[in-house]
Amino acid sequence: MRTAIRNALLSAFVAAAIPLSGLGAQLGTIAAGIRDALVETADQTQVSDFAEPGVRIRSAPGTSSEARGSGSPGDRASILRSVPGETIRCADGSNNSEWFEITNRRTSITGFVSGCYL
């Protein structure tokens, strides 16, 4: 994401530095397209909430991993990716081995949470 932002800013700078005729106009169009793509990507970030109070945010996708912090309903979690991990029995009786790497929006702690708790 940082690379995409850096590239967008560089494209915008180059477009502004070159006269707005021919190549300069093309670069301006490209920079505007990159900016629009970045805005769309930012809008697609998945956000969820914690299913119950005190959900542990772990350093790896398993219950034996170090707890880095916790999350509770209302904190909101940005989902970075989904990964397989230790199978957990959820409150509804189902088994779930899907873990999510998340960032707690309130505390800015990043780590893994079982899919049972989001």
Q: How far apart are CA 11 and CA 90, in angstroms?
A: 48
Q: How far apart are CA 24 and CA 111, in angstroms?
A: 44
Q: How far apart are CA 110 and CA 89, in angstroms?
A: 23
Check whether 36 has a pLDDT greater than 90. Answer: no
- For residue 29 the two structure tokens come to 């169009």
pLDDT digits (tens, 9 = 90+) for 53-110: 999 999 999 999 999 999 999 999 999 999 999 999 999 999 999 999 999 999 999 9
Mean pLDDT confidence for 31-41: 61
Q: For the residues of 56-83, what is the DSSP string, one character each?
A: EEESSSSTTSPEEEEE-TTS-EEEEEEE
Check whether 1 has a pLDDT greater than 60. Answer: no
Percent of the chain surpassing pLDDT 90: 60
Q: How far apart are CA 30 and CA 12, in angstroms?
A: 8
Phi, psi of 71 (to 5 degrees): -135, 155
| pLDDT at res. 96 | 95
Q: How far apart are CA 105 and CA 101, in angstroms?
A: 13
Check whether 2 has a pLDDT greater than 60. Answer: no
